[in-house]
């Protein structure tokens, strides 16, 4: 949900807790995808 990967989810703007949970999920997905590509 930031300028680097341009995620704009309305749910993320509802609270800071949602924002962190959504970004944490996205970061984990990026890590998993990166490891699989190696």
Domain count along the chain: 1
Query: What's the distance, Cα to Cα, between the start and end of the chain in Å?
Result: 25
Whole-angstrom distance, CA of residue 38 vs CA of residue 33: 9
Residue-level pLDDT at 1:
45
Maximum Cα interatomic distance, the chain, rounded to a whole number of Å: 36
Q: Which domain holds residue 31?
A: 1-38
Q: How crowded is residue 1: how many other Cβ atoms within 10 Å of its Cβ?
A: 17
User: pLDDT tens per residue, the chain (38 residues)?
Assistant: 455 555 667 777 788 898 888 889 989 999 999 999 98
What are the angstrom distances between the C-alpha of 22 and each of 25, 33, 37?
Answer: 5, 17, 23
């Amino acid at each position: 949900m930031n300028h680097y990967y341009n995620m704009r989810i309305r749910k993320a703007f509802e609270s800071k807790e949602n924002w962190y949970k959504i970004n944490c999920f996205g970061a984990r997905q990026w890590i998993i995808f990166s490891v699989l590509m190696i």
